[in-house]
Amino acid sequence: MSQTRYFSTRGGSETLSFDEAVLMGLAPNGGLYIPTEIPSLPANWETEWANLSFPELSLAVLSLFVPTDSIPTADLKDIIDRSYATFRSEEVTPLRQTAANEYVLELWHGPTWAFKDVALQFVGNVFAYLLERANKGKSEEEHEHLTVLGATSGDTGSAAIYGLRSKPSITIFILYPDGRVSPIQEAQMATVPDANVYCVSVEDSDFDTCQAIVKNCFGDREFNDAHRLGAVNSINWARILAQIVYYFQAYFLLPKEARKDINFVVPTGNFGDILAGWFAKRLGLPVQRLTVATNENDILARFFATGRYERDPTTDGGVKATYSPAMDILLSSNFERLLWYLAHDAQDAATAALPEQQRRAAAQATLNGWMDDLKKNGKADMGTAVRDIASKEFGAERVSDQETLDEIKKYYSAPAPYGPYVVDPHTAVGLATQERVAKANPSATYVTLSTAHPAKFSEAVELALTKEAFPAFNFAKDVLPEQLAQLEGMKRRVYKVKGEEGVRALVEAVKRGEKPTPSA
Ligand SMILES: *Cc1c(COP(=O)(O)O)cnc(C)c1O
C-alpha cells in the first residue's frame, strides 16, 4: 500500500497527505509539493498492465501515489472512470503512426480538444469528491465551499471550466482579457450553461493584468479566507499525477518491436506535461530520453545549453507572442520540481551519505538559493554540473514560428498511409524538434505528444495551409469538428468587469447569493 506523503520543494520538514496537498495547490512558503519517495512499479507490471484500458491503467499508476486513507481504492476508481468517460476516443489518448519509427500521441480527445482535459477532468472530480466528503452530515451553514479563481490566455480556462462545471460546493471564475482570446476559446468558455461557472471578461486588460488580479486576490488573506480560494493551475500535484498515465499508455500502444530506445518529445510551456514523463521514467518505464520542445520563448532550451535559468534578456521582460500561444511563457512553473531533484542528485559525497531527511533539507536549501537569485536578479546559475545531470535524461530544442508553419505543411503533405495529417502549431513545434533529434539518433522510436486539435489554433493552420498552395484543403470541412462549429450559434454568458474591484465585486455578489446579470 502506498505510504507516499508530500512536502514543499522550498523547505520545512512538514509533510502533507495527498488530499491536503491537492487542496492546498501551492505550499504556503511558495514551494511546490513533491512525493516523499518515488514508488517502484510492481515487479510484473509489464505483463500485468499490458492489456489494461486507460482507466484501469490510470488506477494502477495513481494507486502508487495515492494512499487508500487519502482516497479508498473503490472511490479512486469511480473518480477515474467518470473522468475518462467524457473522452471521445476509446483509448483516451490514442497513438498515431506518422513514419516508420515515429508516432504521435494524441492527447486532445477530451471535452475541450486540448491535452489539459486529461488532468483537469480528473482534478475536477477529485475536488468535488473531497468537498463532498468534508461536507457529509454538516448543515447547510457549515458547508465548505470552494471558489476557484483563475486567469487564462486560452486553453486552461476552458479545460478548468469543463472539469468543474456543475460540481456541488464549487464556483469557478475564469478571468481573461476582453477581446484578446481567440473567438473559439471564448465560445468554448462562455457557452457552458452551468450556474456555477462565471466567464469574466476584464475590460482594458491583458493576460498579465488578469494574472495579477488573481495573485492579489490569493495574497489577500481576508478575501482568500472568506471565499476559500482554490487554484487549478498546473502547479497542482494532481495534474502532474494524472498525466503520468499516458506515457505508460503510449508504451503499451506501441508495437512490441518498437518498445526500445523510446524518445518522448513534448511541446512545453510550464513543464507540467514533460515532468509527468520524467516521473514515468523514474518509476521505471523504459524511456531513453525526454526532449523539451519550445517555441521562441526558450528559457528551458537556454538552460539545457548553459546551465543558467534566466529571463530572456532580449525581450524587455515580456513574452513573445508566437503561433503556439499555450507555450508563450517567461518562466516554467513546474521546472522547480525538477530543479529540486537535480539539487538532490547533484549533492556531494558528504551530503549524499546523510540520512534522506537531511538530504531533502539540503536540496530544499539549494533550491531556495536558486529561487532567491531568480527573484532578485531574474536569473540563477545552476552550473554545468547540474546541467549535465539533467542532460542525461533531457534534451531541448527551440523552434521558430516559420519552422512551425513549415512543419504543418509537411505533415499535411505526407504521402499515404501516414498523411495527410493536419497538426496544430504546438504539436508542430514538437514534430520539428523530433526531426532534429532523430537526425542524430535515427534508429530510436519517437513519440511526439500532440497537445491540441488543429481546430483550436486555426490561425497558424490557415496560414500554413493556404488556398494557393493547398487548393484541396478546406478548414471547415477537413478540420473543424461539428461540436466546435456548433458553438458559434449557442447562447453565451459573459460577465464584463473593470479591474480588480470589478472582479472582487462579482465574486462577493455571487457569494451573497445574488444573481448578477451577464453582459452577453
Ligand atoms: C498547456 C499547453 C502546453 C504546455 O504544457 P505544459 O504542461 O505547460 O508544459 C502545450 N500545448 C498546449 C496546446 C497547451 O494547452
- What CATH number did the domain enclosing 327 receive? 3.40.50.1100
Distance between Cα 270 and ligand 1 center (Å) = 7
Write out the residue range of the structural domain in which residue 295 sits. Answer: 238-456
Question: Is 150 part of any domain?
Answer: no
Q: What is the pLDDT of residue 215?
A: 86
Question: Is 147 part of any domain?
Answer: no
- Whose C-alpha lies nearest to ligand 1, atom 4? 269
**pTM score above 0.85:** yes
181 grid coordinates: 482570446
* Residue 195 confidence (pLDDT) above 80: yes
Q: Is there a contact between 2 and 63 (Cβ–Cβ < 8 Å)? A: yes
- Whose C-alpha lies nearest to ligand 1, atom 11? 451
Distances (CA, A) of 81 to 59, 118, 252, 335: 9, 12, 19, 30
Of 244, 247, 273, which is best to mutate to test ligand 1, by the most ligand atoms within 8 angstroms of its C-beta?
A: 273
Question: Is 267 part of any domain?
Answer: yes
- Whose C-alpha lies nearest to ligand 1, atom 2? 326
Q: Is there a contact between 484 and 140 (Cβ–Cβ < 8 Å)? A: no
| Total number of domains in the chain | 1
Question: Is 224 part of any domain?
Answer: no
Ligand 1: residues whose CB is within 6 Å? 114-116, 155, 234, 267-273, 326-327, 426, 451-452
Distance between Cα 211 and ligand 1 center (Å) = 17
Mean residue pLDDT of the chain comes to 94
**Closest C-alpha among 498, 494, 499, 505 to residue 212:** 499
Q: What is the DSSP letter of 475?
A: I
Question: Is 323 part of any domain?
Answer: yes
Q: Which range among 22-26, 152-156, 176-180, 504-508 has the greatest average pLDDT?
A: 504-508
173-194 residues labelled b (16+ CB within 10 A) or e (exposed): bbbbbbeebeebbbbbbbbbee
Stretch 77-84: mean pLDDT, rounded? 98
Distance between Cα 427 and ligand 1 center (Å) = 10
- Conformation bin of residue 210: beta by default, left when phi > 0, alpha when psi is -120 to 50: alpha
**Closest C-alpha among 28, 37, 83, 87 to residue 58:** 83
Question: Is 196 part of any domain?
Answer: no
Provide the pLDDT confidence category of residue 317 given band limits of 50, 70 and 90. Answer: low
User: Is 491 one of the annotated active-site residues of the chain?
Assistant: no
Catalytic residue from among 116, 167, 281, 456:
116
| CA triple 497-499-502, angle to 5 deg | 50
- Whose C-alpha lies nearest to ligand 1, atom 14? 326
- Whose C-alpha lies nearest to ligand 1, atom 8? 270
Neighbouring residues of 225: CB distance < 8 A, sequence distance ≥ 6 = none
DSSP E strand boundaries for 436-489 = 445-450
109 grid coordinates: 480527445
Tell me how far apart the alpha carbons of residues 248 and 226 are, in angstroms, rounded to a whole number. Answer: 41
Distance between Cα 152 and ligand 1 center (Å) = 12
Q: What is the pLDDT of residue 274?
A: 98
Tell me how far apart the alpha carbons of residues 304 and 397 are, in angstroms, rounded to a whole number. Answer: 9
* Residue 331 confidence (pLDDT) above 90: no
36 grid coordinates: 516523499
**Type and span of the H or E element at 66:** none
140 grid coordinates: 447547510
| Closest approach atom of ligand 1 to CA 154 | 15
Question: Is 41 part of any domain?
Answer: no
Stretch 170-195: mean pLDDT, rounded? 92
Cα Rg of the chain, angstroms: 22
First to last CA, the chain: 51
Question: Is 450 part of any domain?
Answer: yes
Distance between Cα 4 and ligand 1 center (Å) = 27
CA count, 13 A, side-chain hemisphere, 475 = 18
Neighbouring residues of 473: CB distance < 8 A, sequence distance ≥ 6 = 412, 465, 467
